[in-house]
Structure 1
Amino acid sequence: MSNQIPLHNVTPPTKKDGDTFDLYASREKIYTRAFTGVFRNLRRAGGLLLFLLYFGTVWLNWGEHQAVWWNLPARKFYIFGATFWPQDFILLSGILIVSAFGLFFVTVFAGRVWCGYTCPQSMWTWVFMWCEKVTEGDRHQRMKLDKAPMSGHKSLRKTAKHCLWLLIGLVTGLTFVGYFSPIRELLVDFFTGQADGWSYFWVGFFTLATYANAGWLREQVCIHMCPYARFQSVMFDKDTLIVSYDPRRGEPRGTHRKDTDHKAQGLGDCIDCTMCVQVCPTGIDIRDGLQIACIGCAACVDACDSIMDKIELPRGLISYTTEHNLSGQVTHTLRPRLIAYAVVLLAMIGVLTSGFYTRPLVGLDVSKDRALYRENAEGRIANVYSLKVMNKDQVDHTYVLDATGLPDLKLHGRRDIKVPAGEIISLPVELSVAPEHVPPGSREVIFTLRDIENSDTEVHTQSRFVGPSIR
Structure 2
Amino acid sequence: MSLQPNNIKIPGSDGEAFRDTVGTMDDTGKRKWIFPKKPTGKYTNYRNYVSYLLLILFFGLPFVKINNNPFLLINVLDRKFFIFGQPFYLQDFFILALGAVTSVIFVMLFTVVFGRIFCGWLCPQTLFMEMVFRKIEYWIEGDRNRQMKLAKQEWNAEKIRKRMLKWGIFALISLVISHFMFMYIVGYEQVFQIMREGPFAHPVNFIVMICFTGAFYFVFAWFREQVCTLVCPYGRLQGVLIDKQTINVYYDFKRGENRAKWRNGEDRKAIGKGDCIDCNQCVVVCPTGIDIRNGQQLECVNCTACIDACDEVMDRVGLPKGLIRYATEAEIENQTKFKFTSRMAATTVFLALLIGFLGFLMYDRGAMETKFIRPAGSTFFVQDGKITNTYIYTFLNKSNEKKVVTIKVLEPSNAEITFFGPSTITVKGDEILKGNINISFPEKEIKLNKQNIEIGVFDENGKMLDSYKTTFEGPFKLQF
- Same-fold call, TM cutoff 0.5: yes
Residue 143 (str. 1) matches residue 151 (str. 2): no
Select the residue among 104, 108, 111 that pairs with 1:100.
104
Query: Is the Cα contact below 8 Å between 1:372 and 1:466 reproduced in 2?
Result: no
In 1, Cα distance between the equivalents of 2:446 and 2:298? 72
Displacement, 1:4? 5.7
Q: 1:265 to 1:302 in 2, by over 3 A?
A: same
Hey, what does 2:5 align to over in structure 1?
5
Query: Is the Cα contact below 8 Å between 2:283 and 2:291 reproduced in 1?
Result: yes
Hey, what does 2:129 align to over in structure 1?
125
Deviations 1:222-273 (A, max 9, x none): 1222121112132222232221222233333333234444556654332322
In 2, Cα distance between the equivalents of 1:23 and 1:148? 24
Select the residue among 191, 204, 211 that pairs with 2:210.
204
In 2, Cα distance between the equivalents of 1:282 and 1:320? 18
Hey, what does 1:429 align to over in structure 2?
437
Hey, what does 2:197 align to over in structure 1?
192
Hey, what does 1:469 align to over in structure 2?
476
Deviations 1:82-109 (A, max 9, x none): 3332223333334334433433343233
Displacement, 1:157? 1.5
Matched residue type, 1:421:
G
Q: 1:115 to 1:452 in 2, by over 3 A?
A: same
In 2, Cα distance between the equivalents of 1:161 and 1:183? 28
Task: Report SS of the residue matched to 2:334.
Answer: coil
Q: 1:379 to 1:63 in 2, by over 3 A?
A: same
Deviations 1:334-356 (A, max 9, x none): 54653553343344334334444
Residue 287 (str. 1) matches residue 290 (str. 2): no
Structure 1 stretch displaced more, 236-245 or 111-120: 236-245
Query: Is the Cα contact below 8 Å between 2:110 and 2:351 reproduced in 1?
Result: no
Displacement, 1:221? 1.5
Structure 2 matches for 1:35-54, cutoff 5 A? 35-54=39-58
In 2, Cα distance between the equivalents of 1:122 and 1:341? 26
Task: Report SS of the residue matched to 1:180.
Answer: helix
Q: 1:36 to 1:239 in 2, by over 3 A?
A: same
Hey, what does 1:456 align to over in structure 2?
463
Displacement, 1:30? 0.6
Structure 2 matches for 1:202-281, cutoff 5 A? 202-263=208-269, 267-281=273-287
Displacement, 1:383? 2.6
Q: 1:11 to 1:169 in 2, by over 3 A?
A: closer
Query: Is the Cα contact below 8 Å between 1:43 and 1:117 reproduced in 2?
Result: yes
Structure 1 stretch displaced more, 176-185 or 324-333: 324-333
Select the residue among 60, 83, 88 that pairs with 2:64.
60
TM-score relative to the length of structure 2: 0.86
Query: Is the Cα contact below 8 Å between 1:173 and 1:202 reproduced in 2?
Result: no
Task: Report SS of the residue matched to 1:27.
Answer: coil
Matched residue type, 1:285:
D
Give the unaligned 5+ runs of structure 2. 9-14, 21-25
Identical-pair percentage: 32
Task: Report SS of the residue matched to 2:408.
Answer: strand
Select the residue among 361, 372, 382 that pairs with 2:367.
361
Displacement, 1:389? 0.5
RMSD: 3.0
Structure 1 stretch displaced more, 278-287 or 369-378: 369-378
Task: Report SS of the residue matched to 2:73.
Answer: strand
Select the residue among 164, 169, 173 that pairs with 1:168.
173
Hey, what does 1:384 align to over in structure 2?
390
Displacement, 1:279? 0.6
Query: Is the Cα contact below 8 Å between 1:4 and 1:323 reproduced in 2?
Result: no
Displacement, 1:402? 2.0
Hey, what does 1:16 align to over in structure 2?
none
Structure 2 matches for 1:304-453, cutoff 5 A? 304-330=310-336, 333-335=339-341, 337-375=343-381, 380-405=386-411, 409-413=415-419, 414=421, 415-435=423-443, 437-453=445-461
Structure 1 stretch displaced more, 247-256 or 29-38: 247-256
Deviations 1:96-124 (A, max 9, x none): 34433433343233321111111111111
Matched residue type, 2:185:
F
TM-score relative to the length of structure 1: 0.87
Hey, what does 1:17 align to over in structure 2?
none
Give the unaligned 5+ runs of structure 1. 14-21
Aligned residues: 460
Displacement, 1:73? 5.9
In 1, Cα distance between the equivalents of 2:325 and 2:354? 33
Residue 303 (str. 1) matches residue 309 (str. 2): yes
Matched residue type, 1:418:
T
Q: 1:72 to 1:412 in 2, by over 3 A?
A: farther
Displacement, 1:23? 7.9
